[in-house]
Structure 1
């Protein structure tokens, strides 16, 4: 059974190759804008990973199936900027800039940012790359 895996040109993660795993084994690495054809013996689970993050597993069902693999723009492009806000908020909180109300508001925002970043890196780690079937 043959499948085709496409990775469109991406601005985010453009220098990072996505290792593609079939049945838990690394088969290929997909570079930015690359398309590869794979020969698979039977229907198995396919996934992509970068570091500890990656995609959900997708089952391969049909011969000639075309899959698109791409990174999640929010997690890869915007999450680093959100984490950069943490030290700025901490400066306002610990130096008592702006009074008590601002300190409380920024403390709540900082706690929410920390919780969101931890959730993104742990529970949402299988959403950094998406694998979609192309009809």
Structure 2
């Protein structure tokens, strides 16, 4: 068995959520905000992958065979996606107000185009970029 240390720094975002630690498709443990745990990984998992997950999104996979005894892994949230992206969500109703207001600030066709580009970018970030919300860093 190999022993590794998992560390999650205190974060102002995702502070009420726990990060689920997966080995393969099995849950190994959970990390709360600011928590550090030492875990033992059984030898039967040496060819598996390691991943952190929160709700439907998570981190890139890390190969367990690349980890050595007493490695420390820092699991943190992506600051841009977790802090800045909600402000882009606030643009959705503002764009709607600009498009459908009685005083046409911008042309409706241009506004609808901007809204569609915004929606495609948002859906792309939530689906294609779903494995970039958390970061694993070997120390």
Taking structure 2 as the reference length, what is the TM-score of the superposition? Answer: 0.87
CA distance in 2, matches of 1:99, 1:34: 49
CA distance in 1, matches of 2:34, 2:98: 43
> Is 2:101 the partner of 1:97?
no
CA distance in 2, matches of 1:85, 1:98: 15
RMSD: 1.5
The answer to whether the 8 A contact 2:57-2:130 is kept is: yes
Q: Structure 2 unaligned runs (5+)?
A: none
The answer to whether the 8 A contact 2:99-2:106 is kept is: no
The partner residue of 2:87 within 81, 85, 97 is: 81
The number of equivalent residue pairs is 132
The partner residue of 1:52 within 51, 56, 59 is: 56
Which aligned runs of 4 or more in structure 1 are off by greater than 6 angstroms?
none
Q: Structure 1 residues 22, 78: closer, same or farther in 2, change over 3 A?
A: same
CA distance in 2, matches of 1:63, 1:14: 29
CA distance in 2, matches of 1:106, 1:9: 40
Post-superposition CA distance 1:61-81 (Å, at most 9, x none): 211111000011111122122
CA distance in 2, matches of 1:49, 1:5: 14
CA distance in 2, matches of 1:114, 1:108: 10
Q: Structure 1 unaligned runs (5+)?
A: none
CA distance in 2, matches of 1:37, 1:47: 16
